[in-house]
Chains A and B, each alone.
Chain A
Amino acid sequence: MAETERDPRTIELREPPVLAPGHSFASVTDKIGGIVLSRRTPRAWMAGFAVSFLLVMILQVAIAYLLARGVGIWGIGIPVGWGFAIVNFVWWIGIGHAGTLISAILLLMHQEWRTSINRFAEAMTLFAVACAGMFPLLHLGRPWYFYWLFPYPSTMGVWPQFRSPLVWDVFAVSTYATVSFMFWFVGLIPDLASLRDQARHWFPRGIYGMLAMGWRGSAIHWRRYEDAYRLLAGIATPLVVSVHSVVSLDFAVAILPGWHSTIFPPYFVAGAIYSGFAMVLTLAIPLRAVYHLEDFITPRHLQNMAKVLLATGLIVAYGYFMEALMAWYSGNRYEQFMMVNRVLGPYAWVFWAVMATNVLAVQACWSRRVRSSVPALFAVAMLVNVGMWLERFMIIVVGLHRDFLPSSWGMYYPTIWDWATLFGSIGLFLFLMILFVRLLPAISIFELRQLVAKPEYARSKT
């Protein structure tokens, strides 16, 4: 792209635009709506659907066997009682956080580039929270009694223990799931109305019509809509910080070395956003390639996400450094041993893999060439995805396997069912994402129209 093509009113002259020039209200509507309403399904979509469906079937089998036999089919026991299930829970819930960050915090900060990625990032949040919520329930042993976690007037006369972070977690995650769903759905209403009016066949028109609830774009409705949407964003911002803080308190409130640490809440929140942005990149790169959305998800988006990835990655690295420093500085021999064991013990490879992925690999994003290279960014994002999973493994399993008494030390070996549940949940996540991309507009159409209307983007009035 030549420098001269760009409008001089664009603020950042050196950066690629948020929206490719030459789009009109009609063209963005047709392009995004067309993906959903078209009868043709790309071959790459079919392949993704097939693979993820297979993984969902594996998940079904793993869960069915778990319900039949109990948690003993997993590698957990004493001393490692929290195995893959809790690692996966923390990993998934963290991934969800980037969606809320993009849709709420960047909205409040008037970051225009969020517009074309917020919708699918919100969907990602929703599906990641669904995957996350599954794990603590499966880990209960008798998942069918999960509702005991809620305060309801039971005939047993007992109540949940509100001094426990595990009960806080129930409230935090269920509130987070509800608010994320509402935020996502409210954002969808005007676009569902667009699809209703665009659809030619009676069936999609009926379905989208029902979901749009009679939205007609009235100025008065828009006014209330914008108020509600901004307030929701304002509410979601402290919520997203609270959710991973509460998740971290599950650990920090315990007395275990490596868990009992005041840095956990901010360190977990930064890690959550870090892994979430890696996942947004992982999803955005194939999405824009398969559906040719390069006009909407421009190099600018990828570069900005790479910068956020780098910034949060540095905060996470600071967290690792602080953990080590405090272990040494505390003068507590159990804390010191925890750190030595983490670096040199039987799970040392996990520590070094975390350092290589989360701390080292992301440094590549300092380079402009890496930030503007799609394959390089995808590689970094994949490494961070794996690294952040390993980080939670390091905190949970490596923390638990050697505590205060050498006589109670042990090792944790995941079974095939642990792996089946992990990969099954990844399959479920991708399966839901793939269905979402086909059935609902993956990019917010009305917000793109808002962008088109701005003077700095080329606009044709036809």
Chain B
Amino acid sequence: MSALYGLMAEFDNPEDLVDAARRAYQEGYRKMDAYTPYPVEGLADAIGFRRTRIPLIVLIGGILGCLSGFYLQYWISVISYPLNVGGRPYNSWPSFIPVTFEMAVLFAALGAVLGMLGLNRLPMPYHPVFNVPRFALATRDRFFLCIEAADPRFDGQRTRWFLESLNSRGVSEVEP
């Protein structure tokens, strides 16, 4: 059975899927994922995923942007090429705030987007779940739960029975 990526159950509605995900977690399955056409509240919690780390990346991006934005202007106006403009101090910091702010925003936003894509490992040109023909409905109106063969509790027959007991519309094998 090692030639299998996992087993995938299909559901009609999000409630059944969240329920199934909770039951699977209680059964001791850990390596699994749920697939939905829109973000379903509580689903990530149900499969045991809690920490996203995105807010931290955004915060670090914002702080980095803020510091580098200000230092860029400070270095240019005070160190690299000091220029007397109307008698203003070289370090006219109030004038440097707008660019500092914009750089903080830029880096924070880049952190949010690149962080999200990076942690989600996107772009990903190939993934086994797409081998299930009905999976095309995961971006339309169907809800899927996939228990992966890599899970230590995974057992071809027993996992199949378990998934079939969950009010699902059917269970399919996912080729690796």
Query: Which residues of A line the B interface, CB within 8 A?
Result: 24-26, 29, 151, 157-163, 165, 167-168, 171-172, 175, 178-179, 182-183, 186, 189-190, 193-194, 196-198, 213-228, 231-232, 235-236, 238-239, 242, 246, 249, 446-447, 449-450, 453, 461
Contact = CB atoms under 8 A, between A and B. Distances in A.
A190 B139 CA distance: 8
Given A225-B116, A235-B58, A219 B52 contact: no
Contacts of B126: 214
A228 B54 contact: yes
A194 B139 contact: yes
Contact of B102 (A171, A218, A453): A171
Nearest to B36: A217
Given A24-B141, A163-B88, A213-B123, A246 B106 contact: no
| Nearest 5 CB-CB pairings of A with B | A213-B123, A25-B141, A228-B116, A214-B124, A223-B44
Given A168-B99, A171-B98, A219 B116 contact: no
Given A26-B141, A171-B99, A213 B122 contact: yes
B56 to A, nearest CB: 10
Nearest to B116: A228
Contacts of B47: 219-220
A162 B73 contact: yes
Interface residues of B, number: 66
B106 A162 contact: no
Given A178-B110, A227-B54, 19 more contacts: A25-B38, A25-B140, A26-B140, A26-B141, A29-B139, A29-B141, A163-B92, A163-B95, A175-B106, A194-B139, A194-B140, A213-B117, A214-B125, A223-B39, A223-B44, A224-B54, A231-B55, A238-B105, A239-B102
B139 A450 contact: no
A116 B132 CA distance: 31
B133 to A, nearest CB: 11
29 contacts: A26-B141, A29-B139, A151-B72, A157-B81, A163-B95, A171-B102, A178-B110, A179-B105, A183-B109, A190-B38, A197-B136, A198-B139, A198-B140, A216-B138, A217-B139, A219-B35, A220-B47, A220-B49, A222-B38, A224-B52, A225-B39, A227-B52, A228-B58, A228-B116, A231-B112, A235-B112, A239-B105, A449-B38, A450-B38
B6 interface: no
B103 interface: yes
B139 A178 contact: no
A214 B129 CA distance: 11
Nearest to A448: B38
A168 B98 contact: yes
A217 B35 contact: yes
Contacts of B136: 197-198
B6 to A, nearest CB: 13
Given A162-B96, A449-B38, A235 B124 contact: no
B39 A158 contact: no
A194 B37 contact: yes
Task: Point out which of B103, B106, B116 has the most chain A C-beta atoms below 10 A from its C-beta.
Answer: B116
B132 to A, nearest CB: 11
Task: Point out which of B85, B110, B125, B138 has the most chain A C-beta atoms below 10 A from its C-beta.
Answer: B138
Contacts of A198: 136, 139-140
Contact of A218 (B12, B34, B130): B34
A219 B117 CA distance: 14
Nearest to A178: B106
B66 interface: no
Contacts of B135: 216
Interface string B3-43: 00000000011100000010000000000011111111001
A235 B122 contact: no
B158 interface: no
Given A162-B73, A224-B54, A219 B34 contact: yes
B38 A447 contact: yes
B11 to A, nearest CB: 11
A186 B14 contact: no
Contact of A193 (B12, B44, B139): B139
Contact of A449 (B21, B37, B98, B115): B37
A29 B37 CA distance: 10
Given A162-B96, A163-B88, A461-B12, A219 B36 contact: yes
B40 A219 contact: yes
Nearest to B125: A214
B120 A224 contact: yes
A227 B13 CA distance: 23
Contacts of A220: 33, 44, 47, 49, 120
A167 B102 CA distance: 12
A197 B81 CA distance: 56
A214 to B, nearest CB: 4
A455 B169 CA distance: 23
B149 interface: no
Contacts of B102: 168, 171-172, 175, 239, 242
A215 B98 contact: no
Contacts of A196: 139
A151 B68 CA distance: 13
A30 to B, nearest CB: 8
Interface string B141-153: 1000000000000
Contacts of B120: 218, 220-221, 224-225
